[in-house]
Amino acid sequence: MKKGLITILVIAAIAVGGFIWVKNVYNQMVVSDENVQATWSQVENVYQRRADLIPNLVATVKGYAEHESSTLESVIAARAKATQITVDPANLTEESLARFNEAQGELSSALGRLLLIQENYPDLKANQQFIELQAQLEGTENRITTERMKYNEAAKNFNTGIRRFPDNIVASLFGFEKKAYFEAQAGAETAPKVEF
């Protein structure tokens, strides 16, 4: 009788311990997943800030450089494309992040061409509104870099957590999947050629 009771208590203790372990690992993964989603939301927030600044910048440039319509139109088109591509924070796959990153890269390229226009228009260069918008865009680009870095760190922590043994067993049981990272644009490893 005593051996049977001890066996039952040992089995119950193992079951309770196993339940507590699974619960703690699961809750830790949920917290980590929520952190990834929150940092992703902040990435989207700073990209939206950039998109919101663009119409004011385009309007300012338009007043000085009306015959630069192809550049202005390309910025407007790139902004429209970039704001149409959204990524579900619960499904941050490499493919969805690559599409998002590509659209944002096209917008960055178009913005770069727009900002180069100022070299041809001294009055535009001296326009206070243009100078302020340019400074806000530069600040926003810095924020984008910072938030992307924070997102990558959160994704790394999450991905590490779901791959670690024995936590990976709980992750696979509950369907936690790897989050994608922001990566450098193609060709970023090559320094730009500067000529004087």
Query: Does the CA dihedral 148-150-155-156 come out positive or negative?
Result: positive
Full-model pTM: 0.77
At residue 148, what is the residue type?
A: R
**What is each CA distance from 21 to 9, 11, 59, in whole angstroms?**
18, 15, 58
Average pLDDT, the chain: 85
Q: What is the pLDDT of residues 147-189, one digit of tens each?
A: 999 999 999 999 999 999 999 999 999 999 999 888 766 554 4
SS3 content of the chain, % helix, strand, coil (to 5): 80, 0, 20
Under 8 Å between Cβ of 191 and 157: no
The topology (CATH level 3) of 2-174 is: de novo design (two linked rop proteins) (1.20.1440)
Listed by start position, the domains of the chain span 2-174
Q: What is the pLDDT of residue 195?
A: 42
Q: What is the pLDDT of residues 98-125, one digit of tens each?
A: 888 888 988 888 888 888 887 777 777 7
At residue 186, what is the residue type?
A: A
